[in-house]
Amino acid sequence: MSGQPDDTHLLLELLARIVARIVARNPDSILKSLVQYYSVLSHIDCASKVSDAALAATSRAVLVPLGAAPADEQYLLHAYEAFALSFLTTPDLHLVERHTQVFAQSLDSDLLASSITKAYKEGHIDGVNREGQLWLLAHFVGLGQRADAGSQGLKRLDALHLQLSSLSTEISVRMSVKPADSRPSNADLSGSEDHLLQSLPSYVAHQLASLVDKDGISVLLAELTTNFGVKTTNGDIESASLLSGYVLTLLRCFPNHGDEIRMRLFLGDVPSRAGSLPTIKFLWQAMSQTSVYVQVLHNSASAVELLKTYLSLSAPASSAQEEEWRLVLLFLELYIFILRLSDDEDFFSSIFPALLKSNDQPSRLRSCGLLLQDVTKLTIVLKHLAFALHYNASDIQQGSINHDRSSFGQLEHYFGAQHLKASREAKVANERVNAALTRLDLGSLRGIVTTALRLLYERDSRRPFLPKDHWLMTSKFDMEGFVSAVVAEQERRQNEEGSDSDDSDGDVDEDTNIGGVNSVIRTLAGHRVSHHAQIEKLRAQQRKAQRDRMLAVIGPKLEVLRHMPFVIPFDTRVQIFRQFVHLDKHKRREGMDADHWRMAMLHDPLRSPGRGPAGRHHGKIRRGQVFQDAFAQFFELGEGLKEPIQIQFVDQFDTVEAGIDGGGVTKEFLTSVTTEAFSEMDGISLFTANSQGLLYPNPTAMDELREALSKAGMPGNSADWQEQVQDLLRQFEFLGRIVGKCMYEGILIDIAFAGFFLLKWISGQTGENSYRGNVNDLRDLDEELYQGMLRLKNYSGNVADLSLDFTITDQVSLPDEPVRTVTRNLIPNGENVAVTNDNRLLYISYVARHRLVAQPAQQTAAFLRGLRSIIAPSWLSMFNQNELQRLVGGDSSEIDLEDLRRNTVYSGLYEIGDDGLEHPTIQLFWRVMVGFSDGERRDVLKYVTSTPRAPLLGFSQLSPHFSIRDGGEDQARLPSTSTCVNLLKLPRYKDQETLRKKLLYAVSSGAGFDLS
């Protein structure tokens, strides 16, 4: 036909007239032929050469069956469905894509939307392949944008929602795949699955992108305003629910645009009887009145049944509860976004309005905040939901939406699994009918609820505003047997997995796309995740879902401890941590203690001398070179550093110092390694400190090394260059292992880490993957930069006048060299994106993420890799940042002198005899300690034990115990210590004042240390 356009045009005109007569007289008679009719027309329309006359005739032929006005409305629905499924599913339609305006005005948008909705709900869409469904969606979007404004409505939104939900995984992956002609010519796709992935056709990609551009979101907000702004009818609540579900689906389909979607919603207002409300406030008012919210608030037990109903495949698609859940989930999405943007000033000005000055104009963030009573109620609801989702997951997920269905189905589609049986396809179709596509699965629901809960908890742990025991849920457990029950679960989990409690899939981040702001690394760092990496992520998510279901069955208490540990008292969690370590030691050493294990390894006839574990765990360490010697001799041990090590200290003449390592010298070795490593070594600082002396990985360490190597003339792609870089990263990794070893052995170190760095310890399973960084954490890093970001946030003028863009400048400084600057993009093409009043909050959050996450990423990941090889990530996740610091360095509260006295061991002449009385000098010592200030007591404690803080569970946990031995009767002699065994050698002073002066002098001068 394409070769004879005139004939085609005449034939089409004739066909249109014939069909018009049939439709006018007996429309039902043509119904059975409409599918074939539109299929033929679609082939004519997409022919390579079509004349204008033929195109006009095609248009009339297409529209004739749709333009009749029969009494039977069902005819039109069937006709529009045939048009949608047989015509609009065809690629490259000239009529729709080039003459959209004219064509769209001749269609009934509501009927088209209703027919598509009907096709999805009744399963008719299953006869169309995935590519055809994408083209249908694209054509529907294009036609909707050109239709009359009055025809835009909730029916169109419903149809969009169903289509996007069905195709969400495919859209989210393929939207980020570059077209083949834009990939590097030298790209090697062999050995990967990239060649199996196709980018979306340009027309499809363009139409889908229009849904999340500024105009697309503006239309959405207009619908929000029109349909349920000042009204409260049930129908309008249904409208609100549909819009909420649609926004949630957009976030799933377009993760790269998540921040822009949330930002536009955040900046939008909704009219109400009390005046315009920020979108988040409107959603809060609507959500807090839902039966779901009210039931969970007042009855924690109701959470399980509500969740089971929502996640059930058999639940009706349009139930009132599902509509309420959409409101709840959109509120949480937007509230998480706002929490991540808000600094403490914004947050606390909202919950405590009295903090605002009377003449202050509240910022957008402050106007979006909730009052204290509202936040308190919200945390209660989130606690109850999160607890049910983790503790009762096994019960809830019976018959629930299968998390890995969508990802597995998409993988099958990508990898050509056409051999699937029809039964599986039928099962998927049935799931669609049951509206599984429009709901979140268990993992996604758990992720969003837990994220919101943890963000509020982190805020409260940093600056408390809720009652002391607000977060505890001890009434849910038998606390007397809780520790032993958790340990039993841990043993079952280890037996089930046959390995450590954290497998290789544990680092899949369920928080990746929740709440926005820095949630997609490629958006912020300016890099695309490769197609292969995206597929691997889908596979990892599938494995994680399977693993999570198994863990929910065998370890519900462990799941609570892992995801919401704050519901259990801190002291209980410390006991559990110690029990986990004990269990791990017992398993690794086959029940032997350190000394017996060492002897067993030494006498193992199957091992060569010096080659077995005992030989590899022996080190000779020089004073002044402790870290470098330790690194050289112990790095290759890997997680084997958990086993007992034996240390000999030598002086500059290689003379072995006095002391037999029964554990005490190991303690001295570990504390010496940390002391040396956390200070500057050979001109390189692995760690640096903020203005409060809190430590974090040196963010410029990698840049400084590369600059030094470049100055030395070393080629950047040489093996030597790579080895130098890897060696520095290995040092960070080894230092992480050393800190982990101290925690593993219960050895306290006098080191204080920055809060934002400690948050990274608990952020993932095997790598730094879920810590986002925010402006509050920026304060711990750089107070000046933090204040600068606050000034920008509160700037009353036009931010565009400041000529800022989405780039940041890093400084690289070498000794005796001028400072060099490096400008880096915060987002792709950041140098061409101006900072404005609307996007400045995103700019601030991206600056914070760069400084806190991106810049120190390599060195932080290396440290965490080492730390987590000794201390399982799930153990670390039981604590917040402040609690972790106490776990590392001890309790910072006032020294409990009575507890110390009860747990002090005496030897030599000071040993307590049968009369039970203390030696007179010991009595003088305790009188002096009572008279000391808390600071002076800490100085004494540090002098003896090397740390000024008590163990978390009291001095009974100090190993070895605090000990005092007589040091002779010379009254002029100073006290001395062996910190490796926590021993104070105290001369037999005759009076209290002499003892006091001598002790203070020894403590202040650090005199009298030896290893004997």
Catalytic annotation, residues? 980
Closest CA to 484 of 408, 575, 402, 403: 575
Question: Which ranges of 147-271 would DSSP assign to H, the alpha helix?
Answer: 154-174, 202-210, 214-228, 234-253, 258-267
3-state DSSP assignment of residue 819: coil
* Cα–Cα nearest to 534, from 407, 644, 424, 628: 407
Distance CA 83, CA 125 (A): 13
Q: What secondary structure letter does DSSP report for 950? A: B
Tokens 């003896």 identify what position? 944
CA distance 893 to 950: 8
SS3 165: helix
Angstrom distance (rounded) from CA 435 to CA 310: 11
- Give the Cα separation of 781 and 881 in Å (integer): 15
> For residues 848 and 840, what is the distance between their CA atoms, to the nearest angstrom?
12
512: exposed, middle or buried (Cβ count in 10 Å: 0-12, 13-18, 19+): middle
Task: Please give the structure tokens belonging to residue 563.
Answer: 């995801």
Per-residue b or e along 471-489, where b marks 16 or more CB atoms closer than 10 Å to that residue's CB: bebeeebeeeebbebbbeb
Number of neighbouring beta carbons within 10 Å of residue 494: 15
Specify whether the CB–CB gap between 52 and 3 falls below 8 A: no
Residue bearing tokens 């917040």? 880
Q: What's the chain's Rg over C-alpha atoms?
A: 34
β partners of residue 650: 622, 656
What tokens does 791 get?
């000034």
Report which secondary-structure segment, H or E, holds 810: strand 807-812
Q: DSSP strand E in 891-968: where? A: 905-907, 963-966
Stated length of the chain: 1012
- Beta carbons within 10 angstroms of residue 717's beta carbon: 7
Is cis: bond before 960, omega within 30 of 0? yes
Q: DSSP per residue over 473-500, as a string? A: -GGGS-GGGHHHHHHHHHHHHHHHHTS-
Q: Which two tokens stand for residue 873?
A: 């990530």
Residue 321 contacts by C-beta under 8 Å, 6 or more apart in sequence? 291, 292, 306, 309, 310, 315
- Planar angle of CA 490, 510, 735, nearest 5 degrees: 65
* Cα gap 949→747, rounded to integer Å: 11
Please state, in angstroms and rounded to a whole number, the distance separating the CA atoms of residues 811 and 531: 33
Q: How far apart are CA 145 and CA 736, in angstroms?
A: 55
Per residue, the 3-state secondary structure of 216-247, as one string, reads: HHHHHHHHHHHHHCCCCCHHHHHHHHHHHHHH
CA atoms of 308 and 262, how far apart (whole Å): 29
Angle formed at CA 258 by CA 255 and CA 263, multiple of 5 degrees: 175
Close Cβ partners of 320 (under 8 Å, ≥ 6 residues apart): 291
Scanning 342-441, the segments in alpha helix (DSSP H) are 344-351, 364-367, 372-391, 393-396, 403-414, 422-433
Cβ atoms of 84 and 162 within 8 Å: the answer is: no
